Structure 1
Amino acid sequence: MIENNRIKYSLAGFFMGVAELIPGISGATVAVIFKIYPNLMTILSKLRIKHLSFSLSSLSKKFQFDLLLPLIFSMIAAIILCSKAINFLLNNYEENFLTFLGCLMIILSLQIINFFKGILHQKKLFIFIFLGTSIGFILGQLDVESENISIFYLILSGVLAFSFFLIPGISGSSMLVVLGIYSPIIGAIANFNFDILIPFALGCLISLLLLPRLILSIYSSYEQSLLYLFSGLIASSGLLLL
């Protein structure tokens, strides 16, 4: 069982890494599909100073290193191995590639919630699908341009980008595109421009420390409704890629 879970988290990490390379697809979406999202959020919610220890065994148990490390290493491997391939497809077969991704996301959005079974028994779940779809389309229509990027804007962008890494539906890189700073952030990473990277990383850290516990708490209390909300977000993200 333990070995199977390691393989499961390794596969999930690999596909999460691939997903985060493409604006429009969320790594958290992959976590939901592999059914590791609640546990992953549980692990991230424990990232508090009071939980840190000099005992490796204690840290390993608290943060489930046997599962988390394979996931992280697989994500890194995916980013290294697949970035050139995905870039080639986007540059040479963009329309076909995005159409394929869009259709795949729509199908997966239905699979996540076992749509045709659950929706017949609880009609009120239509509300959450509609709400998620609407939010997804609204976010997709935003067009923010920023020529002179302030430190506050970079911090805010980091918070939003990492927040959408935690929430199924829209990837962090999509939010960077929406916010108009995808190219500056990519350029900053490539050129080690710490004037941009440090405020952005600070925003990501703020999101990492503050939001996982809140998201997990809400998810635990309203799991089914949120799955339908997430499904709407995922479906609308797929439609926007078509």
Structure 2
Amino acid sequence: MRSLKNAIVSEVLMLVRGDMETIGQRRPRREEVRELILERLLKGELAPGSRVKEVWLANELGVSRTPLREALFRLEQEGFVRADPARGFTVVPLTAREVREIYPIIWTLECLALRTAGLVHAEQCAELERLNVELAEEAEASQRRIELDTRWHRTLLQHCPNGRLLRLIDAQKQVAYRYEWAFMRETEVIPVSVQQHAEIIEALRQQDLERAVEVLELNWRSGMGMLLQRLDWL
């Protein structure tokens, strides 16, 4: 009887441990909700300056108000929404001031990452060129342009050994994505970016790291300038 009892206890403990491991691996619900809301923010589906309709959004996402509000408070800390006791949450508007603040941070960090990574291999240059050609040929979908441009920059910096620096870049770019979404809709800006990418690739092939860094900064400066021209409140 005792051995049977011990066997049952052991089996229960194994099940509990299994459940705990599953729970440990499962992402918190608020994080999943945060990503769903963030996607809508980046794509402009939750319009800049608009009030977040919590009841509607909770129904849309199929979640309760608790994880929704937890996710919104996290997004407030990240600068995507604002909380007001009287009005609830509102989406932070797009502003020229934020563009002027965020873009210099990004190009400074990316230039540092490129210097840290050093010269790239021939295979990496070939991949950069392939992505750039694909970006040049993408005529319609703004989301696809953003994906290609993001992949190009990540490929450029992929051998940077400073993981903390790369995470800082990704965090800053999340804020910039709302602007990139509007920026990449304009087809005339793509050739400028593609040409600058090509100059960076050529500089790396010539083992001229400083030239590559110089054009990388220019790439972000040009994007910032073109974007500011499209902001009504500039």
TM-score (norm 1): 0.23
Higher RCO (Cα < 8 Å, 6 or more apart): 1
Give the helix-richer structure, 1 or 2.
1
Structure exhibiting the larger radius of gyration computed from Cα positions:
2
